[in-house]
Amino acid sequence: MTANLRIALVGNPNCGKTALFNLLTGSNQKVANYAGVTVERKEGVFHTSDGNLLHFLDLPGAYSLEATSPDEAVTRDVLKGQYRGEPEPDVLVCVADATNLRLHLRFVLELIALGRPMVLALNMMDAARKHGIDIDTEVLAKELGIPVVETIAINKDGANKLVDKLNQRGWDAASTQAESLSLEQRHQRVRLLMEKAVTITGIKKTLDDKIDAIVLHPVLGLVVLAVLMFFIFQAVFSWAEPVMDLITNGITDLGSWVTSPLPKDSALFSLLNDGIFAGLGNVLVFLPQILILFFFIITLEESGYLPRAAYLLDRMMFRAGLTGRAFIPLLSSFACAIPGIMAARTISDPRDRLTTILVAPLMTCSARLPVYTLLIAAFIPKQSVAGTFNLQGIVLFCLYFAGIISALLVAYVMKWLRRDKREHALLMELPSYRIPHLRDLAYGLLQRAKMFLKRVGGIIFSLTVILWVLCTFPGAPVGATEPAINYSFAGVLGHWLSYVFEPVGFNWQICIALVPGMAAREVAVSALGTVYAMSGTEDMVANQLGHVIASTWSLGTALSLLAWYVFAPQCISTLAVIRRETNSWKVMAVSLVYLFALAYLASMATYHITEWLL
């Protein structure tokens, strides 16, 4: 009987569980070629050809049931039936990396000791054979006393064999003989299993070793990393321009077509022209740059290079008070701080985990990109440096670098303040290199595009409409000489806030944009578009916001706003996740206050130094 089985996919980190889970259930959970991507349990179903329903659980990777981090604790609790609201799984599918079987077998033996029905899925068998590793699965199955299935997580054949195996056996009866072993006994058992079932031939220096000799070199490796990052930010500006021009022209034409039948003094014309097209249009245009940035991020994730970068930067992070394991959460924060903060669950030490969570918002998330590129394009000349490099790309690189340096400095200050001076060395498994799969790359970009467009059509659209209402009502009094927005709710609020932000060089229009920008950083761009469109400059601002601010702001104001967005916690969702992950309002308040204080001081210093120099 196999109907409605609950099956837990479990194994060491980066063994291919999630790729197998996606293949079996049709889910689209994130996969990458490094440990620590899955930090929560995921659930999906598979309908067999004979009508059975298989419920699959994708559990965070773990090296042992003796959990040392919050994500490993989730796996342990689910497997032992201690996870609240979650019954024990009926069957365990332990996924093991066939290229590193010696390490994975220790966890296999620990799982067998649970006495649950279990299947061993030997994943990456194709890579193992290329490395000269021959595994006799029949001998291994006999020695372990459980079925062994060969799989390749991106290949349906292996997944089908696994489903057939799950469908064949009568899993109601306990089919695994529990055998509790000490750690030393497990090591001895693994040695015996490797001798009986595994033959390794033709070991020689592999391509991975040759690449690692360069990218892990203490000097050459850092040069490679710097060049790689520099190239990415150059590409973001240089490659996106033709597509951005197409989007701009398309939005302009669409706006003209939609609003042309409407009277120009009507509220509907103002809403569509000043609110929707001037606001959303100025955000949509940044989609190509976001996709180019994520093309490189996903490629690096899939290739297996990122853990090498963590190894290279470990010494610097160690001195700053961060553990090398913080690299992956901080890197994830370049996409969005929320998954980055959640990825900190892989850090076992609570002190190191808290430090990582508090500095993660300083990493430059993709939501900052529209603000950065708007201001850079408006104020930084489009010219070459040394005949090769794009000056705008160099400035963007410096802004991302400023976020990294800021995070290290804040971590160093926290290290200096804390009483606990213990240090924790980095222990990280380096995966084999692999060529990114085009399907995963295309799917990752599609997901990012969907997420961006969903935000544009959801929260950004909603806030743009609300802002238009606040900028429109109440109308100007009879005999008023200023633009109507000056007398509106938003105008009055902007003028009040300008007293607070005048020392940092912000005008009242920027102050208005900062308020909805608290919900999502990129909303500030659409808000600026709407505010300036309703300030009497609608003919000029329609999808050309950069030209408007370049002619009305000083360079000091523009650089001050850039400095503000390097530090400011302009994202309520990030603060909410900090509260949830730390279970502390106090930590969230500390994060909010210190980030706003840094943003204000950095903006004020940037504004006054720039004004003094010019």
Q: Which two tokens stand for residue 491?
A: 């105008």
In terms of Cα–Cα distance, which of 495, 486, 503, 500 is closest to 557? 503
- 587 vs 95: CA distance, rounded Å: 37
In terms of Cα–Cα distance, which of 333, 351, 358 is closest to 343? 333
| 58: Cα separation from own chain's centroid | 19
pLDDT tens per residue across span 282-321:
788 888 888 888 898 889 888 888 888 878 887 788 888 8
Reported pTM: 0.75
Residue that the structure tokens 């109308």 belong to: 475
| 456: Cα separation from own chain's centroid | 18
Q: What is the DSSP letter of 458?
A: I
**For range 192-215, the mean pLDDT:** 82
- Rg of the chain over CA atoms, in angstroms? 28
pLDDT tens per residue across span 486-497:
888 888 998 999
In terms of Cα–Cα distance, which of 81, 78, 84, 34 is closest to 59? 78
- 67 vs 64: CA distance, rounded Å: 6
Helices (H), 114-203: 125-130, 137-144, 156-168, 183-197
- 537 vs 531: CA distance, rounded Å: 9
Report CA-CA distances (Å) from 459 to 415, 456, 490, 497, 565. Answer: 38, 6, 18, 23, 19
Which residues are bridge partners to 92 per DSSP?
8, 118
- Say what the alpha-carbon torsion angle 125, 131, 132, 133 is, to the nearest 10 degrees: -40
pLDDT tens per residue across span 174-185:
455 556 777 788
pLDDT tens per residue across span 86-115:
888 989 999 998 888 888 999 999 999 888
pLDDT tens per residue across span 426-438:
667 788 888 888 8
Q: Is the pLDDT of residue 171 over 70?
A: no
Q: Check residue 31 and give left, alpha or beta (phi > 0: left; psi -120 to 50: alpha).
A: beta
pLDDT for res 174: 47
- 549 vs 492: CA distance, rounded Å: 21
- Structural contact between residues 528 and 282, judged by C-beta atoms closer than 8 angstroms: yes
- Structural contact between residues 539 and 533, judged by C-beta atoms closer than 8 angstroms: no
- The residues, ordered by sequence, that sit 6+ positions from 115 with a Cβ below 8 Å of its Cβ are 174, 176, 177, 178
